[in-house]
Amino acid sequence: MITQHLQTHYFWGHRGWSPYPQNTLISFVGALNMGVVGIELDIAPTKDDVLFIMHDSSVDSTTDGTGNCVDITWEYIQTLHAKKDGIVWEDVTIPSFEQVLDYFKGKNCLILAEIKRYDTKPNLAHDVAKMITDKGMENQVYVQSYEEVYMDTVKAYNSNIITGLLGDTTSVELAYAVAHNHNFIAISYSDYPVDTAENIAASTAKVSTVRAANRELFLYTVDGEATAQKYVDIGVDGIIGDYASAFNNLIWLNKLEQNFPYKGNVNPTYRYYDDYIWREVIPQQYDGYDWIDVKATTFID
């Protein structure tokens, strides 16, 4: 039985932060510097079994290269550059999963890693679990997938890795999570309508059902400050979205204490209080993906 409430409040940057090419280091750093607790990313395997960060089954739409992930080598991927809205970012490359782990290890953030389905790579989930374990990052990396067997494999390899099930229907994923000792479910926000008072009441009751089962509930993909606020109000445990900048304001307005892994550290944020005025830091093109220093994180009424 799961006995610890994760308290993963609240926000995850979906593939990083939307102004930058998705699933790249610059995108991840951008999201984290907006104050979210963690980043969501996607893991794919190469032909030569290197784990790298890619949402689609091919590299065509988000890089200047071409080919299915499982048909190209890591050597080839290292020559590629990220692409967003048809524009190639010459200085932004495609990271491996190991590079992401090495970069963020020990930094005050979480990583929510989705394992994509690849039938020709039967050891994929095992390899993800092994890498997290070998890096000693069970406290920083959560793993999720639409593929239940993948999560069973990860949990069997290392029961300390926090695992979750992705899906569209709460009842189905919750039942499996309880039966197989997974920690959370990540459900499409469409299963939790909040457009009317009646729907808000029904969605709140559904959140209570998940909580009664001692599991966590994350919702994806929630964009927009007003909608995200409604999900904060009904008590979900995590909100995954593209626009970390919208989440930043909600963190402060709601005085949310997110579940950063290193409690003694200052939480990264763009917003700080100085001379009795809220000041905003303008997003910059990060040189070398430097971690931005925080001015202050005290909540001011």
Q: DSSP letter at 27?
A: H
Is 181 or 298 the better-scoring residue by pLDDT? 181
- The pLDDT score that the predictor gives to residue 292 is 39
Average pLDDT of the residues in 177-200: 97
Which position has the higher pLDDT, 212 or 262?
212
Residues of the chain with pLDDT > 90, as a percent, come to 72
191-209 burial string, b = 16+ CB within 10 Å, else e? ebebeeeeebeebeebbee
Highest mean pLDDT among 2-11, 103-112, 116-125: 116-125
Question: Lowest-confidence range among 137-151, 209-223, 234-248?
Answer: 234-248
Q: Beta strands 271-274 and 277-280: pairing type?
A: antiparallel
Centre a 10 Å sphere on the Cβ of residue 60 and count the other Cβ atoms it contains: 13
Q: What is the mean pLDDT of the chain?
A: 86
Domains and CATH numbers, the chain: 11-59+95-289 (3.20.20.190)
Question: Looking at beta carbons, which pairs linking 273-278 to residues 24 or more positions away fall under 8 Å?
Answer: 273/298, 273/300, 278/252
pLDDT given for residue 289 in this prediction: 41
CA distance 135 to 240: 25
Quote the Cα angle for 171-175-176, to 5°: 120
Q: Which helix H or strand E contains 277, and what residues bound it?
A: strand 277-280
38-45 and 51-53 beta bridge pairing:
antiparallel
Q: Which tens digit of pLDDT belongs to each residue from 213-244?
A: 999 999 999 988 999 999 999 999 999 999 88
- What band does 4 get if pLDDT is binned at 50, 70 and 90? very low
Q: Does the structure show a pLDDT above 80 at 267? A: no
pLDDT over threshold 70, residue 65: yes
pLDDT band at 263 (very low <50, low <70, confident <90, very high): low
> What's the pLDDT band for 253 if we cut at 50, 70, 90?
confident
Give the pLDDT of residue 266.
Answer: 42
- Please, are residues 105 and 99 in contact by the beta-carbon 8 Å criterion? no
pLDDT at 9: 60
Amino acid 269: pLDDT: 41
- pLDDT greater than 80 at residue 286: no
Least confident of 25-39, 40-54, 244-258: 244-258
The pLDDT of residue 301 is 28
Q: What is the rounded average pLDDT of the residues 66-84?
A: 98
Query: Higher-confidence residue: 280 or 162?
Result: 162
Q: The whole model's pTM is what?
A: 0.88
Reported as a pLDDT band with limits 50, 70 and 90, residue 265 is: very low
Mean pLDDT for the stretch of residues 76-87: 97
